Amino acid sequence: MLLAISFALLAAAERVSIAGAIFDNADAPIEGATVYVYTARTKEGPNLLCPSCYADCGKRFVTQSDGSFQLEGLDPSLIFNLLIVRREYAPLLIERIDPQSGPVKAKMSRIDPARLAPDHSVRGRVINSDGQPVRDAIVEPAWLVLADGSWTGTLRSGIDNMSITDERGEFVITSEKPLKEMTIKISARGYAPKTGEKLEPATPQKDIAVVRGATVSGRVFLKGVPLQNVSLGLVQTRSARGPDEFLGPMEVTTNDSGRFSFYCVAPQQDYYIYGIHDSFAPYGALAINSVTVHRDGESVDLGDLTAEKGNNLSGTLKTSDATPLPTDTHLIISRDNAWHCSFIKVGEKGNFDVTNLPSESYSISVHCPGYAISTKNESYSYRSLRGLITRDLENLTILLDPAAPDAPRQSEPFRPELAGKLIAGVTN
């Protein structure tokens, strides 16, 4: 018994804390703000749990009169995202906090009352399938139309980048300019993400229900042996990636038996499941698998997925003016269906060598200050190379042309005829 108590005390002593203080823009302390651990991830190694599934997630502290807070008993192997909320202030998300990096000091901005006018704001209430309010959900604009008819699928200045539901599940998103409509995305811990809900200003508050979602699981094997500590992604198929319908990718890691599980997966959606290349490359390649999630609460078991030898891609980048490449040149290999890209450091002589790429369609671009992919490359399409990698491609030469950083970008058509061809550069 004494030994067990000693071990328990030792474990408690090894826990860490995040301390800090919250102020307004005039450096006055804010009392009564709630600071809590929203999500977490490991500092090193694989993430076996979803970001909101770690035991520390949900811990909270209400700031004192001097604005101070202290979140205690945290896992020292994790880094944390903190969410700070208080009525009349814009919510604040602070990312990648390491408890061992010292105190946190943050500032919150008071919401301009003029932005709360009916034509400058949209409101709603997030509830679960039982009709109960869901607090602390993140609500973000996914698509909006202003009263003047202009629209955007990306954040612009003058629009709240997010709101947080209160204890009643209510939220408000404000704008400097009058609104016509807004499509929102909702992310709540323990629930499936939701998007596509349209809100209009100056209308009665709308109830929006979120569900727990489905579970998608399986195992990964290599030559009959479970493949552990490799990462997989899940993302909607390409037909559902518009700004007002895209839920975003999810990522998990296999355990010691090669098993993986995606939790809180939104129902009534088609998905791709794929291996993260950077994680699989030392072992092989995992082909894309398709899965449909029909119902809330459903458990989908994909069975055993097999990693196999992938394709190798090697070659050289060269400049048309024979100038040596900058030292920070990278090849960017993006998979058309999977939501993933790999950044490959290019050698001093422009050489690159990538192993175990799955047989798929890709686009290849470069990060090379002062240069851009030349239109003389056979697979050139819209500032990149596009096509298939379905076998080893060796001695690929990619030509780069000088490009001024402030040069206007020309409108260029995509070349759909490249979809069924192997990626090719220029002939030496």
Q: How far apart are CA 366 and CA 80, in angstroms?
A: 32
Average pLDDT, the chain: 89
pLDDT band for position 98 (50/70/90)?
A: very high
* Mean pLDDT, rounded, for 63-83: 94
* pLDDT (average), residues 314-323: 96
Work out the average pLDDT over 407-418.
70
pLDDT at 116 over 50: yes
Interval 398-417 mean pLDDT = 75
pLDDT, greater one: 161 or 26:
26
Tell me the residue type at 356: N
pLDDT at 159: 85
The pLDDT of 124-143, averaged and rounded, is 93
* Mean pLDDT for the stretch of residues 347-352: 94
**Res 389: pLDDT:** 97
User: In the predicted model, is pLDDT for residue 408 greater than 70?
Assistant: no
Q: Which amino acid is at 316?
A: T
Tell me what pLDDT residue 303 has.
Answer: 97
pTM of the model: 0.80
More confident residue, 27 or 162: 27
pLDDT over threshold 50, residue 9? no
Domains and CATH numbers, the chain: 12-108 (2.60.40.10), 113-209 (2.60.40.1120), 214-307 (2.60.40.10), 311-420 (2.60.40.10)
Q: Can you tell me the mean pLDDT for 351-379?
A: 95
The enclosing H or E element of 7 equals helix 2-13
The pLDDT assigned to 259 comes to: 97
pLDDT of residue 410: 62
Count of Cβ atoms closer than 10 Å to residue 347 Cβ: 13
| Lowest mean pLDDT segment, chosen from 167-176, 345-354, 377-386, 414-423 | 414-423
Q: Which two tokens stand for residue 223?
A: 């030559």
Average pLDDT estimate for 399-417: 74
Q: Reply yes or no on whether the pLDDT at 346 is more than 60.
A: yes
Check residues 34 and 399 and name the one with the higher pLDDT. Answer: 399
pLDDT at position 46 = 62
Mean pLDDT, range 262-267, rounded to an integer: 96
Which residues 6+ apart lie within 8 Å of 73 measured at CB? 12, 15, 17, 56, 59
pLDDT band at 419 (very low <50, low <70, confident <90, very high): confident
Across the range 124-130, mean pLDDT stands at 97
Q: SS3 breakdown of the chain: % helix, strand, coil, rounded to 5?
A: 10, 50, 45
188-209 tens-digit pLDDT: 989 999 999 999 999 999 999 9
Distance CA 36, CA 59 (A): 5
Assigned token pair, 30: 């804010």
pLDDT at 155: 59
Instruction: Quote the pLDDT of residue 396.
Output: 97
pLDDT bucket at 405, cuts 50 / 70 / 90: low
Cα dihedral 251, 254, 260, 263 sign: negative
Report pLDDT for 406.
58
User: In this prediction, what percent of the chain has a pLDDT beyond 70?
Assistant: 93
Q: Tell me which of 92-96, 153-157, 273-277 is least confident.
A: 153-157
**Residue 88: band (very low, low, confident or very high) from pLDDT cuts 50, 70, 90:** confident
Confidence label for 71 from pLDDT (cuts 50, 70 and 90): very high
Instruction: Please name which of 298, 281, 265 lies closest in space to residue 273, comparing C-alpha atoms.
Output: 265
Q: What pLDDT sits at residue 13?
A: 45
Indicate whether 68 pLDDT > 90.
yes
User: Would you state the pLDDT for residue 214?
Assistant: 98
Cα 269 to chain centroid, rounded: 18
For 272-289, the pLDDT digits (tens) are 999 999 899 999 999 999
User: What is the spatial distance between Cα 244 and Cα 141, in angstroms, rounded to a whole number?
Assistant: 9
Tokens representing residue 50 in the block: 């979803």
* Bridge partners for 172 per DSSP: 123
Q: What is the pLDDT of residue 10?
A: 38
- Can you give the pLDDT at residue 158? 81
Tell me the mean pLDDT in the region 244-263.
93
Tokens of residue 396, six digits: 């690929």
